[in-house]
Structure 1
Amino acid sequence: MSADRLRVLPALCLALAALLVAIASPAAATALIPGAPAAAPAEATPPPAPIGTDSDAASDAAIAARLERIYAELDELSGVRVRASGGVVTLAGEVAERADLVRAEQIAGRVEGVVAVRNDVEASVDVGERVSPFLQKLTGLLRSAVESGPLIVLSLLIVVACVALGWWAASFGRFWRRLTPNPFVGDLLAQAVRAMSVIVGVVLALNLLGATALMGTVLGGAGLIGIAVGFALRDTLENYISSIMLSLRQPFRANDHVVIDGQEGKVVRLTSRATVLMTLDGNHLRIPNLIVFKAVILNYTRNPERRLEFELGVDAEDDPEAAIAVGVAALTGLDFILSDPAPTGVIVTVGDSNIVLRFMAWIDQTGTDFLKARSAGIRAAKIAVETAGFTLPEPIYRLRFDQLPDLEGAAAAPPRKPRRASPRTAPEPALSVRPDAHIERTIAAERRATQEEDLLSPARPVE
């Protein structure tokens, strides 16, 4: 099971619990059907007033007679027998439900002159007696439903009419897309219209039925469901909102050369879930829009002019300023190097055996490939520096001998002079620096062949 499904399970459990709470509400059973028999209200704990008797209140016989008359009027307590002695009332018999035991005792305690109540009433376990009250309630509910049938049908028609109106209004896709910045937001607004039509229809139907209590229960359950879904799908919702923000901001265009969160490539499309890149190796790379929205985006295509730089080393005894002048002149002579801003060079470090020089130049990426131009620039500067007689230093290694071998009689080797590069008359022709359009052609072909959504719109300004 995937992680997304595991995150959804708690939300579904909480949603089911909310629905069960709504159904189990005392008002839910009768709110949908006007006139349905309501649940019996709970007896108040503090007695509002003492219950009088027809004769002397202190008489046990009067107390027993009064309670028997009261129980006889209540069908669910008609089987309760009463005996009073010295102000102590003893209740016996059987009732259908356990809640009637408490009710009978509460009524007896409210009679004036009763000192204590001994409740010996038992709940019946007979199937017929247990089912009979349920069938009576069900019969009354069905009878009320039949009597309220026209009102229920009218409420259902209102719901259907509101839903149909909302679906009809949302079907005008062109209107919503013109009303919003891009098609993605337009489709989202159309879905919102559909959802609102359902909510309005249900609210109107419940108001017509007078089910205000049920409406509060449903709204409370909906709030609980919304909180549960929000927690369970937090990452998904954040990614979806990031897609909306990116579609509005438009930080790049298709075929732009970008670096997003350290991933380099050219933009293929922006979907409602991810930004699709094609790497310079020709591979597809999908980055979740939540990462794209929070990441630092480097766009090489936005400004076609780009600076290239590289380093060369010359011998420590050479003149670095003269070497810089030679290298800069070689870069200036290249056709693809821009004259404004002009190429330049600086001294980076001075070591024991070499001096490191850094050369910088600008190119126009619309007609020049960056990597090819940098490679050609390095080649031209190297050849020019060597041709001018400057030495590119070789690595120097220092060796330590703890014991010297016997060198008596061996002829001493003459000292070796530093190697000087042979001057060249002219550099060899450089390779072409025209950009390779293979990736662009691949992206264009894929965009034409694939019907997948694209939130990048040329009509929207780039941020």
Structure 2
Amino acid sequence: MENFNVELGLLWKKLETWGEYAVLMLPNLLLAILLLIITFKLAGLIRGWLEKFMNRFSHSAALNNLILTLLYIGMLLVGFFIVLNVLNLDRVVVSMLAGVGIVGLALGFAFQDIAANFVSGVIIALRRPFRVGDLIETNDYRGVIQRITLRTIDIRQLTGEEVHLPNKTVFENPLTNFSVYGTRRVDLEVGVSYAEDLEHVQQVVTEALEDVKNRIKEKEIEVMYDAFGDSSINFKARYWITYKKEIDYVSAKSDGIIRIKKAFDANDILIPFPIRTLDFGIKGGEKLTEQLEHLTASMKNGKPLGGNGQAGYE
């Protein structure tokens, strides 16, 4: 019974000590609550002001949201640490900072790919090598950009499929942007007969391509011969077009082919077929008709054929 009274007395003294400390800390507690409310209000106001300011200079919504969120969290952390300091919890602050460092290091090793995609997304948002709506080709994928996030680039391929490419993959590999300049060159490969007047062919092709779809009039049409083919002399017809979508390029190329074909037909210019020579193994100047006569006679007489496909003779 005596031990119980002693323990009860110690507990009561402890509660009295806590009560006295709570009374002493009450002004600090009220001040801490007030500082916490001010921190949230001030962080919200600063975020709203910065959002209006950043929208004037940056058109990347993802990057703007990232920066604003980081600043907002940073301001809240500063206010939270000040509140802990007011409550005389300095040791808690030091412990929390150490814990945040250890947790951050562990997460960095565990989520390396996610971090790499995130950093690549930030760099892409800053450099802006492409925009939503651009036609790009990268990592064997070709399509129109639908969305740009801080983790992936989402493109819709020309055949309709949607592909989500990690930012790290896009950032580290070559990329072709077909839409960046708004123009594109069409190259047509054509062959004409060796008997044609090549200068006349150049003139005919140039005139035929003058009014091709979407052609940029300020840039000249180029018709240049580049090879002696097996059955034709080959040339390339090149012209520039305005380019917004892939259909612009496909239509202009198709229109150019149609116009060249019509011009060739109107001027009796020949696009030769490939020539193939068949070797029947005829030797010694013997004609094919003579070979066929020997073969027919041999089959009628029932004589076997020689090893070279000719009738056997005694």
Letter in 2 for 1:164: I
So what's the TM-score if we normalise by structure 2?
0.70
Match of 1:325 in 2: 203
Change (3 A) 1:168 1:241: farther
Higher relative contact order (CA 8 A, sep 6+): 1
Contact in 2 for aligned 1:158/1:201 (Cα 8 Å) = no
Give the Cα–Cα distance (whole angstroms) in 2 for the partners of residues 407 and 342 of structure 1: 56
2:152 to 226, 249, 274: 274
Letter in 2 for 1:242: S
Match of 1:373 in 2: 252
Q: Confirm whether residue 167 of structure 1 aligns to residue 34 of structure 2.
A: no
1:241 to 119, 129, 135: 119
**Structure 2 stretches of 5 or more lacking a match?**
1-9, 294-314
| TM superposition shift of 1:160 | 4.2
Give the Cα–Cα distance (whole angstroms) in 2 for the partners of residues 139 and 354 of structure 1: 110
Give the Cα–Cα distance (whole angstroms) in 1 for the partners of residues 70 and 212 of structure 2: 59
Give the Cα–Cα distance (whole angstroms) in 2 for the partners of residues 204 and 339 of structure 1: 68
Match of 2:270 in 1: 391
Q: Confirm whether residue 179 of structure 1 aligns to residue 53 of structure 2.
A: yes
Give the Cα–Cα distance (whole angstroms) in 1 for the partners of residues 169 and 250 of structure 2: 28
| TM superposition shift of 1:349 | 1.2
Letter in 1 for 2:100: A
SS of 2:155's equivalent? strand
Q: How many residues align?
A: 277
Change (3 A) 1:143 1:291: farther
Give me the CA root mean square deviation. 3.8
SS of 1:171's equivalent? helix
SS of 2:290's equivalent? coil
| TM superposition shift of 1:264 | 2.5
Contact in 2 for aligned 1:162/1:197 (Cα 8 Å) = no
1:263 to 112, 135, 141: 141
Q: Comparing both structures, which one devotes a greater share of its residues to helix?
A: 2
Q: Confirm whether residue 382 of structure 1 aligns to residue 256 of structure 2.
A: no
1:358 to 227, 236, 253: 236
Per-residue CA deviation, residues 241-287 of structure 1 (Å, 9 max, x unaligned), is 33334334443344333334443222333234333333323333333
Per-residue CA deviation, residues 209-242 of structure 1 (Å, 9 max, x unaligned), is 6555554443222211111112222322332333
**Structure 1 stretches of 5 or more lacking a match?**
1-136, 412-463
Match of 1:299 in 2: 177
Change (3 A) 1:216 1:338: closer
Letter in 1 for 2:206: V
Q: Bigger radius of gyration, 1 or 2?
A: 1
- Report sequence identity in percent: 25
Contact in 1 for aligned 2:36/2:80 (Cα 8 Å) = no
Per-residue CA deviation, residues 347-398 of structure 1 (Å, 9 max, x unaligned), is 1211332211111112223698211111110121123234333322222233
SS of 1:396's equivalent? coil
Letter in 1 for 2:101: G
SS of 1:369's equivalent? helix
1:311 to 186, 189, 194: 189
Change (3 A) 1:372 1:170: same
SS of 2:215's equivalent? coil
Give the Cα–Cα distance (whole angstroms) in 2 for the partners of residues 251 and 409 of structure 1: 71
